[in-house]
Structure 1
Amino acid sequence: MTSKPTEVQVRPGVEADLGVLTEIYNHYVRETAITFDTAPLAPRDRLSWLLSHPEDGPHRLMVATEPAPGTGTGTGTGTGTERILGYATSGPHRARPAYATSVETSVYVAPDAGRRGIGTLLYDTLFKALADEDLHRAYAGITQPNEASVRLHTRFGFRHLGTFREVGRKFGRYWDVAWYEKEL
């Protein structure tokens, strides 16, 4: 099924989304080096992560949805009336108080929802939501190679700061992580 862009909506994430968000994330855990988690997580393991992203403030969770097949317009929260296509987050860059005006951002798109502009829509909504927050910089770490993520971040004004060489080991090899920065 091909969706029209107008059918995709972005909203804050809620607890009812946790199972699907965990499934999306676990795909990247199992199949890619995009995340350096090495074992799939259970939804209960990610509950504190979800709850650390309220509807307002600098740490947000935005979820892209479309109506589930056969449900018309769909208005639910991942409970059958909508299909979750991906999510974007802003979270703490570092734990110490002086870092409070910096966030780290990320985007995860469902494996079968790629190449539809979902990541762009999520980041656009996330950065608009953050525009009135007391934030100075956003950072993103991108495991290399990942040209699609580099293009997405560059499109949103991120610039390359440097690369940590062979900083993580997954699937029996070492991976570089390129760090990007965006003024907010």
Structure 2
Amino acid sequence: MTIRTATPADADAITAIYAPIVQHTSISFELEVPTVEQMRGRIAQTLQTLPWLVCEDTQGRVNGYVYASKHRERPAYQWSVDTTAYIREDARGQGIGKQLYGELKRILVGLGYCQAFAGIALPNQASVALHESVGFEALGVYRQVGFKHGQWHDVGWWQCSLQSPAQPAVPLKFDALAHHTDVFQA
């Protein structure tokens, strides 16, 4: 298995992983599957400031992905990120999510981030187990916050403390470090 920085060329594989989740579950609150072109844009935009990683199997197929996004707009939140991870259905249960999160957390610390958050549409025991296995702790639940597939859904929030410097520096942008963190063997 290889974990590497995603590229816009991964949009087809990432969209293929994400599409059935949007279409058939309430795990994602998107109502329409993004096009490959839209996904390509999301990847490129994310990589300007934050990491987006993919895990490839030995045949070069993308098994899963993880990325970070800005937590909130106000400046005092700049040391916090939201995280997202999805694993291809036939690759789940193989530790891919743990490996992706391990590398993501390492990079986030290197960039200067202090807190990571994950919102999980409930119920989703597999995602809860993954996040708790990599150090996220439950914070609370937004009740009936999303409406999809004809019903209301709760979202649980989890937090992972990455580091706690007394005087944090402004986080670095990922594109400035990307050439140093391109490929990681898992």
The reply to whether TM is greater than 0.5 is: yes
Which letter does structure 2 place at the counterpart of 1:14? Answer: T
Aligned to 2:10: 17
Q: What is the number of equivalent residue pairs in this alignment?
A: 162
User: Alignment partner of 1:132: what SS?
Assistant: helix
Contact 1:27–1:111 (Cα < 8 Å) also in 2 = no
Is there any run of 5+ residues in structure 1 with no aligned partner, and where? 1-7, 69-81
**Counterparts of 2:157 and 2:51 in 1: how far apart (Å)?**
20
TM-score for the superposition, normalised by structure 1: 0.84
**Counterparts of 2:83 and 2:64 in 1: how far apart (Å)?**
14
Which letter does structure 2 place at the counterpart of 1:27? Answer: P
TM-score for the superposition, normalised by structure 2: 0.83
Q: How far apart are residue 88 of structure 1 and its match? A: 0.4
Q: How far apart are residue 26 of structure 1 and its match? A: 1.1
- CA RMSD for the aligned pairs? 1.3
Q: Identical aligned pairs, as a percentage?
A: 35
111, 114, 131: which one pairs with 2:92? Answer: 114
List, as ranges, runs of 4+ consecutive aligned residues in structure 1 with deviation greater than 2 Å: 52-55, 95-98
- Describe the superposition over 1:129-148 as per-residue Cα deviations: whole angstroms up to 9, x where unpaired: 22212212100001111111
More helix by share: 2
Aligned to 1:67: 58
**Counterparts of 1:124 and 1:116 in 2: how far apart (Å)?**
14
Is there any run of 5+ residues in structure 2 with no aligned partner, and where? 163-186
Aligned to 1:42: 35
Say which structure, 1 or 2, has more relative contact order (CA 8 Å, 6+ apart): 2
